[in-house]
Chains A and B, each alone.
Chain A
Amino acid sequence: MVRTFFAALGLALPVGALVFLSGFGTTLQSEPNGEPKGAAATSEHPFGPGAVPFDDFRESVEGSSKPVRGGRLVVHIPSRPLHLNHVIEAGADARRILEEVHARLVERNMETWELEPSLAESIEVFDRLNFLPSKGGSASSVYGREVYGSHAKFAWLPIEWSLPDDPSSSEETPPTISFFNDGDYESVDSASVFLFRLRQDALWHDGHRFDAGDVIFTLDTYLNPAVQSEHARHLFQQIRSYEALDAYTVRVEFEQSYFMSLDIFEDDFAILPSHIFNLADEDNPHFDSEATDAERAEFIHSNSANVNWVGLGPYRVTEFSDQHIEAERFDNYFDKQDAGWVDEIRWRIIPDDNAAKQALLAGEIDFFGRLRSRELLGEFTAQEAFAEQFDKGFYYSPQMNFIAWNQRRALFRDVRVRQALAHSFDWQEFIDTIGSEMGEAVTATWYRFSPAYDAELERFPFDLDRAEELLAESGWFDRDGDGVIDKDGERFEFEYLFNKNDATMRLVGQKLKENLERIGIVMNMAERDFAAKQALVGERNFDAAAGSWILGPETDPVGLWHSKGADVERSFNQSGYRDERSDQLIEDIQGELDDNRRIPLYHELQARIYEAQPMMFGCVFPVKFAVSKRVRGVQRFFLDPGYSLRRWFILPKAEKR
């Protein structure tokens, strides 16, 4: 394996260096005062990664497409974020606001779906080779290096080796490639050490300079057991050590190779300003070097900066009220080419959709993302008040719904029973009727439009006769003639648990109930509020439970499908799925750093899980939106949040608010 690694390294060297020097040309950059990022193009899959055109959903585009600065954008959000401190809260609404008011070490390019350096100007990735102690030598590990350069996804640099305590010291060493004898080493942990070289020109919104201290403090905070950050702590517990090598360099070493090690520094890593949240920072007015973990945690929990957010993004929060969150453009944002066009963004909070639609028609909102299918295609958007002011469109985002079967209960233990249930619901018909033909039935929990998803995998067709056959094969048929199938004296009767606010899964339940009645199964609808439903599912006190997952472009399947979560209360392996081969595939996926080589692993895992039907795999529905005609520069991305407000601009002639 190691020999292959070095061979690959040797081959990649000249090619990679060439690529690095020339740069990857696919991502278009905005020129200062010129066209915005992105360009019209088509991609292999209309909803997958690829260049995304501007305003392509509009029937006609009047006026200039040249962006201008100025104006205020009003965007609807459906619930009040609890606050904006993502370290202690993981809600989607806060995350969408942070997109514009904060910055991360690495950012995902919404078009290519690739991670790119952001606050980290460059990222050096070191591979670690562990020597066997019996073979002597002073070093137990050595490191090789590759670099994420600016705008190049991956480029090999001349390989250098150095001692583990300071892998960054041998900058100018001439390129050498060393080969080792078999048996000198035990393994190579690829991508186990990251060196983040931070930008030196990034400022917090209060003018304080951003540096390595902020990154180290944030890692400390995620790992402080007294901080309310358990939801993400497991991600950072994979880190063996981290340190600031100097004011702008942070070294992070993982326990082992992990395919998403860089990803956790994107979505899950919200950097906190040390001078505001860190009691041990001398720049903090509340400086207290003696503070305990609990006191530090309490200081973070109760900090008013959780709402009066001081971030690093192109927009600076100026107001956080019950009605709206407002941000103005931050002139000192480090990336001048992506610094936003509008002067102000206002996130208007209206929890009630009907009230929000009234505000939309009144022209108080520029963007509303909660249209229903029938509204998108029907009267609501046809009325004059709408058509005069708005264009409409849709985009997909990584989210899917499902019904988990609790395999800990005897009723759902037989795979034939679960497959029979899969044959009992016609998702396509549901999408055609309820979703007005907008939506896709899925066969996996990973994102329908990601390369990891195997779109060729065939679904179990809607076929009640086949369902009856499968049930009969597993011993379920109507012995006593009461119209309900039975086995060992037990009737086939179960409870369908769903969140009372989830209108979609309520409808799914009603239709499924009708279908199941036809094959002699009694399904009782059990409606609970969300917290109660989650508690019942967490305690595994349910038969069948409806839900939906929010996913990333790629999600580690371990939480949902590895058998180690099957017996853990409240883990996301709700159905109690266990399969040795699947466990192995998941572990292989976690350790496989080559994007292309992960795909067949995902596909095999998808086929195995789908065949076993631990849950009824539902569908993805697109987000249907209305956007004001005065707003331009709108691109539809197929990743959450589906748009990038900093690229939007307002036509000057329509400037009213």
Chain B
Amino acid sequence: MIRFALRRLGLLIPTLFGISILVFALMHLVPGDPAALVGVDSDGAVSANVDASAQVAGFRERYLFDLPLWKQYLHYVGPFNLSDDGHPWFGGSGEDRWNGLLALDFGREFLRPQVDVGSELWRRLSITLPLTAMALLLAYLISIPLGIYSAVRAGSLFDKTSALVVFALYALPTFWIGLLLQMSFGRTGLDSLPTLGLASPDAMDLDTGARVLDRLAHLVLPVLTYALGCLAYLSRQVRSGMLEVIGAEYVRTARAKGLPEFNVISKHAFRNSLLPLITLFGAVLPSLVGGSIVVETIFDIPGMGLYVYESLLRREYNAIMAAVLIGAVMTVVGMLTSDLLYAWLDPRIRLEGGSSDA
């Protein structure tokens, strides 16, 4: 198992390189320069006295955009700095030899040059991760019992009603759920929960206990909005997994042995129905770090989703690359984790020698 894990982790490196080349090329193929956004207001109106042509030319020179793409890629990956100050092999002065991804440098943003992409990503992750983790936990906590109960009572009124409700929630756009929650619990409705941000603007003035409560109150609506959208998918996965095993012979045997129904369901049926959920786990990890553009926009949460979206609009290549690479790492790690969990749950699956990647 350890060998398997190491081999999969080893594959991570070429995978990441492949992804980085692909994303780098795609990103630069999309028309648009970050410099085009200088002097532009939030609605896209442009200051008429800005010298856009000099601005773009300066940007392109400063960030080496005029070099052939492969050279730009080498510069990005490093560790040889290809700028004028960079490595003497590439015509630089040698003052600043090492940079790039291999020197663990994600670079800076173009339009906010004071921002280091690595630290900004870390900051955004620290906002998004707790939020998405809580939302997913909540979604699992609701959907697993819901799915099991629906499967056990398949065809009952409860099963049909819950299916209707979760599909309705699934069909509703997230932004609409978010706005509805805001209107219901915000000032215009029950006036019981904060509707914006992750903390009150004056939270720093509160004592620790009050600050924790303030943070929790701010989390309720975004977590709920995020979780409600996932409910249908997860609960239907649990239900169908359970339905498959609930009629299996070993379940019938367990019942025949006279085991209590709770034990039959929880120990015999549920554990075997978990496989589809484990598969989903591979996809859960990247979504944990990816956040949600919609939820973050509506509730004004400066998390990863919003960051990636804004970076795409501003053509912040360094930020986009870093976010995609982190997403790729999380996907690979998520898939590896789900494979390992498979083996843990189902001893029939062997992970030795790569012969039985289930």
Hey, which chain A residues are within 8 Å of B186, CB to CB?
358, 361-362
Stretch at the interface among B45-53, B283-291, B319-327: B45-53
User: B38–A231 contact, CB under 8 A?
Assistant: yes
- Chain B residues with CB under 8 Å of A294's CB are 84-85
The interface residues of chain A lying within 8 Å CB-to-CB of B196 are 350, 355, 358-359, 364
Contact A323 B51, CB 8 Å, known A304-B114, A399-B45, A549-B46: no
Of the listed stretches A128-136, A183-191, A565-573, chain B binds A565-573
> CB within 8 Å of A: which of B58-114?
58-59, 62, 84-85, 108, 111-114
Known: A228-B58, A361-B187. A529 touches B313 (CB 8 A): yes
B48 CB contacts on chain A under 8 angstroms? 445, 549-552, 555, 559-560, 572
**Chain A interface category by residue count:** 35 or more
* Chain B contact surface mostly: loop
Is B36 close to A, CB under 8 A? yes
Inter-chain contacts of B113 with A (CB < 8 A): 88, 228, 301-302, 306
Whether A90 touches B38, Cβ cut-off 8 Å, given contacts A306-B114, A355-B299, is: yes
**What is the bound-complex CA distance between A159 and B45, given in angstroms?**
45
Chain A, residue nearest B199 (CB): A323
B43 touches A556 (CB 8 A): no
Across the interface, which residues of B come within 8 angstroms of A350, CB to CB? Answer: 196, 300
The answer to whether the Cβ of B208 comes within 8 Å of any Cβ in the partner chain is no
Q: For the side of the interface on B, what is the size category?
A: 35 or more
Chain A nearest CB from B29 CB (Å) reads 11
Given contacts A91-B40, A302-B108, A358-B182, A352 and B32 within 8 Å (CB-CB): no
Asked if A338 lies at the interface with its beta carbon under 8 angstroms from chain B, I say: no
Among A90, A234, A346, A531, which residue has the most Cβ atoms of chain B within 10 A? A531
Chain B residue numbers with a CB within 8 Å of A306 are 112-114
In the complex, what residues of A have CB within 8 A of residue B58's CB? 225, 228, 230
Instruction: Indicate which residue in B52, B62, B112, B298 contacts A231 across the interface (CB closer than 8 Å).
Output: B52
Q: A525 at the A/B interface (Cβ < 8 Å)? A: no
A530 & B51 in contact (Cβ 8 Å cutoff):
no
Closest to B62 in A: A228
B315 at the interface (CB under 8 A from A): yes
Decide if A235 is an interface residue (CB 8 Å cutoff).
Answer: yes
Of all chain A residues, the one with the shortest Cβ separation from B114 is A306
Instruction: Say if the beta carbon of B42 comes within 8 Å of chain A.
Output: yes
A23 at the interface (CB under 8 A from B): no
Per-residue A-contact encoding for B312-337, CB less than 8 Å = 1, 0 else = 01110000000000000000000000
Cα distance A571–B114 in the bound complex, in angstroms: 28
CB neighbours of B59 from chain A (8 A): 228, 230
Segment of A42-50, A75-83, A202-210, A513-521 engaged in the interface with chain B? A75-83
Q: Are B201 and A529 in contact (CB under 8 A)?
A: no
* Contact between chains at B187 and A302 (CB < 8 Å): no
Asked, given contacts A351-B300, A358-B196, A555-B49, whether A535 binds B43 with beta carbons under 8 Å apart, the answer is: no
Instruction: Please give, as numbers and ranges, the residues of chain B lying within 8 Å of A93 by CB-CB distance.
Output: 41-42
Report whether A363 and B187 are in contact in the complex, using a CB–CB cutoff of 8 Å.
yes
CB pair A550 B300 closer than 8 Å: no
Question: Does B118 lie at the interface of the complex (its beta carbon under 8 Å from any beta carbon of A)?
Answer: no
Closest residue of A by beta carbon distance from B182:
A358
The verdict on A19 contacting chain B, using a C-beta distance below 8 Å, is no
Q: Output the nearest chain A residue to B186 by Cβ-Cβ distance.
A: A358
Known A268-B49, A351-B297, A532-B32; contact A231-B108, beta-carbon cutoff 8 A: no
| B46 close to A548 (CB less than 8 A) | yes
A130 CB, nearest partner CB in chain B, Å: 29
Query: Taking each of B38, B51, B187, B314, which has the highest tally of chain A beta carbons within 10 Å of its own beta carbon?
Result: B51
Q: Are A90 and B313 in contact (CB under 8 A)?
A: no
Is A246 an interface residue when CB atoms closer than 8 A count as contact? no
With contacts A91-B41, A322-B302, A552-B49 taken as known, whether A230 is within 8 angstroms of B54 at the C-beta atoms is yes
CB-CB contacts below 8 Å: A523-539 with B: 528-532, 534-536, 538
The reply to whether the CB of B183 lies closer than 8 angstroms to some CB of chain A is yes
Nearest A residue to B33, CB-CB? A535
List of A residues within 8 angstroms of B156 by Cβ:
none
Q: Which of B54, B108, B113, B313 has the most CB of A within 10 A?
A: B113
**Chain A residues, CB < 8 A from B10:** none
In the assembled complex, the CB of B61 is this many whole angstroms from the nearest CB of chain A, namely 9
Residue B179 is within 8 A (CB to CB) of chain A in the complex: yes
Q: Smallest CB–CB gap between A390 and chain B, Å?
A: 13
Fill in one digit per residue for A354-382: 1 if any B CB lies within 8 Å of its CB, else 0: 11001101111000000000000000000
Q: Which residues of A contact B56 (CB under 8 A)?
A: 538, 570
29 intermolecular pairs with C-beta atoms under 8 Å apart: A92-B45, A92-B47, A225-B58, A228-B62, A230-B58, A231-B51, A232-B51, A234-B54, A294-B85, A302-B113, A306-B113, A323-B201, A350-B196, A352-B297, A352-B300, A355-B182, A362-B187, A385-B188, A502-B44, A528-B31, A530-B313, A531-B315, A532-B31, A538-B36, A548-B44, A551-B48, A555-B48, A559-B51, A570-B52
A residues neighboring B (CB under 8 Å): 78-80, 82-83, 88-93, 225-226, 228, 230-235, 268, 294, 301-304, 306-307, 322-324, 346, 348-352, 354-355, 358-359, 361-364, 385, 399, 445, 499, 501-502, 528-532, 534-536, 538, 547-552, 555-556, 559-560, 568-572
